[in-house]
Amino acid sequence: MALKDITLGQYFPGHTILHRMDPRTKILLTTLYIVALFLCKQVVSYALVIAVLAGAVAISHVGLKSIVRGMRPVLIIVILTAVLNLFYTPGQELWRWGFLRITVEGIWAAVFMVLRITLLITCTFLLTYTTSPILLTDGLEKLLSPLKHLRFPVHELAMMMSIALRFIPTLIEETDKIMSAQRARGADFDSGNLIQKAQALVPLLVPLFISAFRRADELAVAMECRCYHGGEGRTRMRQLHFQRADCAALVLGVALVAAVSVLRHFGL
């Protein structure tokens, strides 16, 4: 797996309906979709949420290739989850060898769990792909603004999340540069077993941490030079406003949760 395959935190500019939608709407829609996803029980409900997500991906024009490329870093987690559900779910046995056994319920559990993780990650990627970090921060801060009455640091939390998302691609690029420099000096990151490959990555940690702390210090100095003192009294260049498309999308999101709940009630 190449580092360039990690696309978490990246933003793909565009002018589609999803790109123009209010960030608060997209955050709420993602939350509603996750709720619907965890309510799914059988084939019909999963088919419904897959169709909805496929339509959203098609509308976004992000491209299936980018989403598949972003899924590669979590492939090992998906495979491990499938294996655990396949061999350790009790039920009607189809095959057994020692302590390993495959059951009908295990096969269905593995399939549904893989689908759930894949759809969960895809909808999260779609949120970051179609929303810039600044708008994502503003939307999250607006949604959490009622917590300010409880003295909860809403702005600081939103700012930290925005900075973390923004610096994921930067740190990946920095890691790739360090690996290229060490390869030029004879380092080998590709040969050997899994443990040897992990040990070969240890020399990357020191320069990567130094680079990360240096960037964090530069960012802190830049924010102080611009008289940043938190969110109190700050204005925004772009004001957020709900449009008709946002209201229609939220209605569809609630309808999806309701439909999946009905299907779950009937065992579908």
Q: Say which residue, 30 or 191, is predicted with more confidence.
A: 30
Question: Residue 4's pLDDT is what?
Answer: 53
Which of the listed ranges 2-6, 49-53, 139-143 does the model predict with the highest average pLDDT? 49-53
Given a cut of 50, is residue 1 above it in pLDDT?
Answer: no
Decide which of 155 and 250 is more confident: 250
What is the predicted pLDDT for the residue at 167?
Answer: 79
pLDDT for 51 equals: 93
Give the chain as a 3 state SS string.
Answer: CCHHHCCCCCCCCCCCHHHHCCHHHHHHHHHHHHHHHHHCCCHHHHHHHHHHHHHHHHHHCCCHHHHHHHHHHHHHHHHHHHHHHHHHCCCCEEEEECCEEEEHHHHHHHHHHHHHHHHHHHHHHHHHHCCCHHHHHHHHHHHCHHHHHHCCCHHHHHHHHHHHHHHHHHHHHHHHHHHHHHHHCCCCCCCCCHHHHHHHCHHHHHHHHHHHHHHHHHHHHHHHHCCCCCCCCCCCCCCCCCCHHHHHHHHHHHHHHHHHHHHHHCCC
232-260 pLDDT, tens digit per residue, is 666 666 777 788 888 999 999 999 999 99
Which tens digit of pLDDT belongs to each residue from 32-59? 999 999 998 888 999 999 999 999 988 9
% of the chain at pLDDT higher than 90: 16
* Cα distances (angstroms) measured from residue 45 to each of 116, 187, 256, 257, 268: 12, 50, 10, 10, 6
Calculate mean pLDDT across residues 114-142: 86
The predicted model gives 139-143 an average pLDDT of 84
User: So where are the chain's domains?
Assistant: 3-265
pLDDT digits (tens, 9 = 90+) for 164-189: 777 777 787 888 888 888 878 777 77
